[in-house]
């Protein structure tokens, strides 16, 4: 292309402006590729289904302050009363709920002689025989708990129950051959207490939203007796959550030996858990928009300045036979060269920035396809940004070459 020589000479004459724009493009590419990756990861976490009937589930947390109160009897009375409230599908006591940010993690062993560093970790939820229905879990194999299998776990007894119902993800991890139902596992190395897998449900997240093994969960038949705190989960018929929550809170408040600390829908709890992620998504989205706009304006500004400085030169080229298309192409190619230098530097910077973020903050590695996508986006931005100044330059009349300045 005959324009390459003049373009190179022009860039060398205005190398500072071209260098600044190239560096701005490089910085933009490095930041937006990493920001877009973080946004996609956080958005995927937020959108991931918990496994519960989210629009129709609520949680209630109470604390007994009367040490002489019979906690077991209160729990039995509460469950009987809550399950009788009109609109309630099911209710269960528990010690945690999915994506609450606070829960229990334990380990299972497929062999009592298995080393502790080879155990399979999972998030557990202590429930009674209404747990499956309350959490709206589909039992894909096996059976539910029986009432006589439910134990109490507290400070004085951490004994693991004799049966367990696991998620499909945990079953596949424990027994990759796909035959987990009826198998025996142990809750500690050299354990003497075997635990039978009596059921497998489809899916439920654990309590920690950014866990690497978020789907490895299990239900265990147990009542949590740690201090005076009692957590209840209630699932309602569609459209009746608000009235059931009011009725439940009213009932729980009647007992003067306790305080009702939390009355919260599951959707509200999920928003609270992901509040920082939502804020990060909004902030990084704003950063991408602002950086893109500033970079585009920078390209436009440089192009307008170049056109203004070279009006007579452009007129001379027109007088020598250059068409309007030739002038537009000249500026488009010039901008493409600046942008190309920027995206090459930016690609290297993007990899370096991602390495730093992953090393220091464990954000994960950006997939390689993000880079060419970001590079194409900035090339397109550069061409669009320079189009108006290039067309303005093409409109300069050939007669301008004969005017004195």
With CA atoms as reference, report the closest residue to 273 among 215, 209, 203: 209
Per-residue pLDDT tens over the stretch 209-223? 888 889 999 999 998
Tell whether the model's pLDDT for residue 349 goes beyond 60.
Answer: yes
What would the mean pLDDT of 270-289 be, rounded to a whole number?
Answer: 94
What residue ranges do the domains of the chain occupy? Answer: 4-47+276-402, 66-256
Check pLDDT > 70 for residue 178: yes
pLDDT value for 105: 87
User: Does the pLDDT value for residue 404 go beyond 60?
Assistant: no
The pLDDT score that the predictor gives to residue 335 is 79
CA 146 – CA 39 distance, rounded (Å): 44
Mean pLDDT value of segment 344-353: 94
- Point out the least confidently predicted range of 57-71, 142-156, 224-238, 322-336: 322-336
Res 6 pLDDT > 90 = no
**What average pLDDT does the structure give for the chain?**
87
What confidence score (pLDDT) does residue 213 get? 86
Residue 201 has what pLDDT? 96
Per-residue model confidence (pLDDT) at position 400: 57
pLDDT value, residue 9: 59
Q: What is the pLDDT of residue 328?
A: 79
State yes or no: pLDDT of 372 exceeds 80.
Answer: yes
- Please report which confidence band the pLDDT of residue 3 belongs to, taking 50, 70 and 90 as the band edges: low
Predicted confidence (pLDDT) per residue in 290-345, tens digit: 999 999 898 888 878 777 777 767 777 767 777 777 777 777 787 788 888 899 99
Contact residues for 293 (Cβ-Cβ < 8 A; gap 6+): none
Q: Tell me what pLDDT residue 5 has.
A: 56
- Give yes or no for residue 405 having a pLDDT over 70: no
Cβ–Cβ under 8 Å, residues 101 and 209: yes
The whole-number pLDDT of residue 197 equals 96
Model pLDDT, residue 383: 86
| Mean pLDDT, rounded, for 134-145 | 95
pLDDT value, residue 282: 95
Residue-level pLDDT at 216? 95
Residue 13: pLDDT band (50, 70, 90) is low
pTM: 0.81
pLDDT of residue 259: 92
Mean pLDDT value of segment 195-199: 95
When pLDDT is averaged across residues 360-381 and rounded to a whole number, the result is 90
- pLDDT for 40-84, tens place per residue? 999 998 988 899 999 999 999 999 887 777 888 999 999 999 999
Q: What is the pLDDT of residues 79-116, one digit of tens each?
A: 999 999 999 999 999 999 999 888 888 899 998 888 88
pLDDT at 192 over 80: no
The confidence band for 14, taking pLDDT boundaries of 50, 70 and 90, is: low
Compare 190 and 392 and report the one with higher pLDDT: 392
């Amino acid at each position: 292309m005959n324009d390459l020589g003049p373009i190179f000479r022009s860039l060398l004459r205005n190398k500072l402006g071209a260098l600044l724009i190239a560096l701005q493009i490089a910085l933009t590419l490095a930041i937006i590729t990493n920001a877009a990756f973080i946004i996609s990861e956080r958005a995927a976490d937020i959108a991931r289904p918990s496994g519960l009937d989210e629009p129709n589930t609520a949680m209630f947390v109470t604390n007994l302050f009367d040490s002489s109160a019979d906690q077991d009897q209160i729990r039995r009375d509460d469950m009987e009363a809550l399950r009788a409230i009109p609109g309630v599908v099911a209710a269960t006591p528990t010690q945690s709920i999915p994506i609450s940010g606070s829960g229990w993690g334990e380990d299972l062993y497929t062999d009592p002689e298995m080393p502790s560093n080879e155990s399979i970790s999972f998030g557990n939820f202590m429930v009674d025989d209404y747990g499956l229905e309350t959490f709206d879990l589909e039992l894909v194999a096996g059976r539910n708990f029986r009432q006589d299998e439910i134990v109490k776990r507290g400070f004085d007894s951490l004994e693991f129950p004799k049966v367990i119902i696991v998620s499909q993800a945990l079953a596949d991890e424990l027994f990759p051959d796909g035959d987990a139902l009826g198998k025996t596992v142990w809750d500690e190395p050299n354990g003497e207490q075997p635990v039978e897998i009596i059921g497998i449900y489809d899916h439920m997240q654990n309590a920690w939203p950014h866990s690497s093994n978020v789907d490895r969960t299990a239900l265990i038949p147990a009542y949590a007796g740690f201090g005076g705190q009692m957590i209840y989960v209630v699932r309602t018929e569609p459209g009746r959550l608000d009235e059931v929550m009011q009725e439940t809170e009213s009932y729980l408040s009647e007992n003067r030996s306790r305080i009702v600390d939390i009355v919260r829908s599951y959707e509200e709890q999920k928003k609270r858990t992901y509040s920082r992620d939502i804020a990060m998504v909004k902030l990084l989205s704003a950063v991408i928009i602002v950086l893109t706009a500033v970079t585009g304006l920078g390209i436009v500004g440089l192009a307008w300045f170049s056109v203004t400085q070279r009006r007579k030169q452009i007129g001379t080229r027109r007088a020598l036979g250059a068409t309007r298309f030739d002038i537009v192409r000249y500026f488009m190619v010039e901008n493409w060269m600046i942008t190309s230098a920027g995206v090459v530097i930016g690609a290297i910077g993007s990899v370096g920035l991602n390495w730093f973020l992953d090393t220091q903050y464990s954000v994960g590695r950006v997939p390689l396809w993000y880079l060419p996508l970001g590079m194409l986006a900035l090339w397109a931005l550069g061409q669009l940004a320079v189009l108006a100044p290039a067309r303005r330059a093409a409109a300069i009349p050939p007669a301008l070459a004969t005017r004195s300045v």
